[in-house]
Amino acid sequence: MSNRIISVVDEVDTADATVTTIVSATIPDGFFGVLSVDGCAEHDGTPADAYGYQNSFLVSGEGGAATLRNSSAVPLEQDPAATGVTITVDTSGATVRVRATGIAAEDWVWAAHIGGLLHER
């Protein structure tokens, strides 16, 4: 048995409402644990037009698939200009993804971090 620390950070730019992956992490088979996600977005270089997001959840990896449970998402919208932008967390196979949805014809800069502890069963 072993333990692993996950810490992954990245950023993306969007100029439309297409769902875009900001950062992702692979959950190995036979591991479970707790992950936290922090994300933020800024509209067109305007600090007052900002959006934030935090989420913690249980995660497990089994059979090549990551499963998220007991999510506790907290959107931290700062400004009305951020209405319509979102950060979501989902899975694709064994990968946990942090995804952004911007607004059509608007430039947003996104950053996100996935961190946590995994324990091997």
Q: 60: domain CATH number?
A: 2.60.40
Give 99's strand partners.
Answer: 21, 88
Structural contact between residues 39 and 110, judged by C-beta atoms closer than 8 angstroms:
yes
pLDDT score at 81: 63
Contacts of 13 (CB under 8 A, 6+ apart): 107, 108, 109, 110
Residue numbers in the chain where pLDDT is lower than 50: none
Among candidate residues 105, 100, 92, the one with its CA nearest the CA of residue 16: 105
Q: Tell me the residue range of the domain where 81 lies.
A: 3-120
Structural contact between residues 74 and 55, judged by C-beta atoms closer than 8 angstroms:
yes
Total domains present in the chain: 1
